[in-house]
Amino acid sequence: MASTDRPTMRHTPGKRRIRRRTLNGVIALHVPATVVKAKSAPYLSRGKPACRNPLIKESDHTIVNRFGTEYRGIVQYYLLAHDVHRLHRLRWVMETSMLKTLACKHRSSVTRMAARFKAKTSTPHGLRTCFEARVERKNRNPLVARFGGIPLKRHKSAVLTDRASPRPLYPEKELVKRLRAGRCEWCQQPDTDPQVHHVRQLADLDRHGEPWPAWAKIMKDKRRKALVVCGTCHDLIHGRAAVTLTS
**pLDDT, tens digit, for every residue of 86-137?**
999 999 999 999 999 999 999 999 999 999 999 998 888 888 899 999 999 8
For residues 131 and 174, what is the distance between their CA atoms, to the nearest angstrom?
53
Mean pLDDT of 230-246: 67
pLDDT of residue 191: 84
- Confidence tier at 246 by pLDDT (50, 70, 90): very low
For residues 24 and 38, what is the distance between their CA atoms, to the nearest angstrom?
31
Share of the chain above pLDDT 90, in %: 37
**pLDDT, tens digit, for every residue of 63-96?**
999 999 999 999 988 888 888 999 999 999 999 9
**Torsion angles phi and psi, residue 158, rounded to 5:** -65, 145
pTM summary value? 0.57
pLDDT at 247 > cutoff 50: no
Mean pLDDT of the chain: 82
For residues 56 and 59, what is the distance between their CA atoms, to the nearest angstrom?
8
**Torsion angles phi and psi, residue 151, rounded to 5:** -65, 130
Residues 95-119 as b/e (b if ≥16 CB within 10 A, e otherwise) read bbbbbbbbbbbeeeebeebbeebeb
How far, rounded to the nearest angstrom, does the alpha carbon of residue 207 sit from its chain's CA centroid? 51
For residues 119 and 146, what is the distance between their CA atoms, to the nearest angstrom?
9
Mean pLDDT of 1-5: 46
Among the listed residues 102, 91, 110, 90, the one whose alpha carbon sits nearest the alpha carbon of residue 52: 102
pLDDT of residue 200: 85
pLDDT at 213 > cutoff 70: yes
